Structure 1
């Protein structure tokens, strides 16, 4: 698999984010040939080498993408926003910016595009974040390019919310707290994304190696900080009322990430198990550095 990949040039868009940084590092470690896009070249300067080119481009401005995909075999896009800011909406970034990149990939004759969405995005198209992501997936599927849509479970970085609540002395959960999930480390996700370059899978949901309840995640967060667990279980009507309230009384800029969090927290979110990194180790490392 890797021998094939070594002969192909990759374009990475979104390399300055959490996941994108792990992918850029993995590209570098594998000695792959790549072009990394960034609004400011200096943000990715550390990866520049004879095999890795840094190109300045702004994906929301299609004219800056001109020739970005020339000589590229596979485009990897982690472009997306959790919170709307700088005047950009989910449709501006998660949909239109990715569509700009797709059109340039088509023009350049790129073979494949790998797009990173989120777990169960296809089942929650009513959420503002997923509305934009899945609209782009629809365009990708009819583009004529080979494609893989990867739907990862929550990142370890997202699990810092549990850690921060534990630091303050209590963790709030909705319902029983027995909802299951298997969050994934960025390094493990980067590995499987690069492996997908030569795999035929069109869609893939992936999570980390350990399936945990929300209660267990909270307990790990307390344990890493040497604290006794203090978990408060709120009735689910509080979650539902909160959802209604933010949708009714706040703007989409405010409620977009909140409805995403409140909706996914209510259900099991378990994907294919992959990787070696453990959430427990991540929390203990966080406790040492904070």
Structure 2
């Protein structure tokens, strides 16, 4: 089922015990904080660094995951997930904010699909009743390996018999912050075509984390596929650039990159990738870039064959332009995390 109306007031239910995967990403951190704020008991299962080093050491009070319990292991290893993550304990829900870091076919099927299948099986064995998945709105028009991998797990989750909430957010603030420094330096804002080929309703990490956490408490978000964007109207890349130049007091400068240039890069890398496997991954990265350059991050209306901002639900309080104002003024800096590519 596809839910589009989130106007009803949210209610916070009883305290639940939640296993959180992907807690060290920017959205995972925001989700952990939202869960703690709602009074849930949160266990974060996170990967150890290379060499076995624990990410937060012994000082949890200074970490953004303060208030949670942290367990270390390998979330992509089913044995570690069961032994070190669930640890033969009971949980009411599992929330996964895990995602492949590169988007390459191998990584996508290993993390976005198989690691989640393993997590689902472990959750079922542990008696978990509710599984909340952070997915992506782009899976509604799948052309890329990571989209097919995410969709394959969505299908498995829906058919599992567990209560599910599949959250498909639009663009993230961190994904739209990459040109801030180049504009500050007087360089032009890069756009594809006229900069109005696409539009999105960006959502902040904080607002998305709050929405994900609320899926536990709101029965209206159970057994639903939930597209979600941030507040305010949809914005195009050109509007994003114009607003940045306005904030900086600079004359707008745009440099248009032909979509055909990306096609040339993809074709070249794909040809070389047949001989050198590592280059094939770069070709996939270029395909991902082309996808985001030509497809809007809004709900796709199949009946009218177009993306529709009106059908794309909104949640939260902070707009992208408000975040731009904070970044330009120096009140805050964009946190692009380990997944800056996306």
TM-score by length of 1: 0.88
CA distance in 2, matches of 1:33, 1:11: 9
Confirm or deny: 8 A CA contact 1:83 1:256 kept in the other structure.
no
Per residue, is there more helix in 1 or in 2? Answer: 1
CA distance in 1, matches of 2:231, 2:283: 31
Among candidates 260, 266, 270, match of residue 237 of structure 1: 260
What displacement does 1:2 show?
Answer: 4.1
Does the residue aligned with 1:180 lie in a helix, a strand or coil? coil
Confirm or deny: 8 A CA contact 2:180 2:244 kept in the other structure.
yes
What displacement does 1:177 show?
Answer: 1.2
1:209 aligns with 2:231: yes
Unaligned runs of 5+ in 2: 1-9, 49-53, 274-278, 299-311, 334-342
> Match for residue 111 of structure 1?
129
* Backbone CA RMSD of aligned residues: 2.4
CA distance in 2, matches of 1:171, 1:248: 30
Among candidates 56, 59, 73, match of residue 92 of structure 2: 73
1:53 aligns with 2:69: yes
Farther-moved stretch of structure 1 (196-205 vs 244-253) = 244-253
Farther-moved stretch of structure 1 (253-262 vs 13-22) = 253-262
1:274 aligns with 2:292: no
Change in 2 beyond 3 A, CA 1:91/1:274: same
Confirm or deny: 8 A CA contact 1:16 1:43 kept in the other structure.
no
1:186 aligns with 2:205: yes
Among candidates 134, 141, 146, match of residue 129 of structure 1: 146
Confirm or deny: 8 A CA contact 1:129 1:256 kept in the other structure.
no
1:7 aligns with 2:52: no
CA distance in 1, matches of 2:205, 2:99: 15
> Match for residue 149 of structure 1?
166
Confirm or deny: 8 A CA contact 2:103 2:145 kept in the other structure.
no
Unaligned runs of 5+ in 1: none
CA distance in 2, matches of 1:218, 1:246: 29
1:207-257 CA-partner distances (Å, limit 9, x unpaired): 111311110011223334333221122333334333433434343432333
Change in 2 beyond 3 A, CA 1:3/1:204: closer
Change in 2 beyond 3 A, CA 1:42/1:264: closer
CA distance in 2, matches of 1:247, 1:220: 36
Among candidates 202, 205, 218, match of residue 241 of structure 2: 218
> Match for residue 5 of structure 2?
none
Confirm or deny: 8 A CA contact 1:13 1:76 kept in the other structure.
yes
Does the residue aligned with 1:184 lie in a helix, a strand or coil? coil
TM-score by length of 2: 0.76
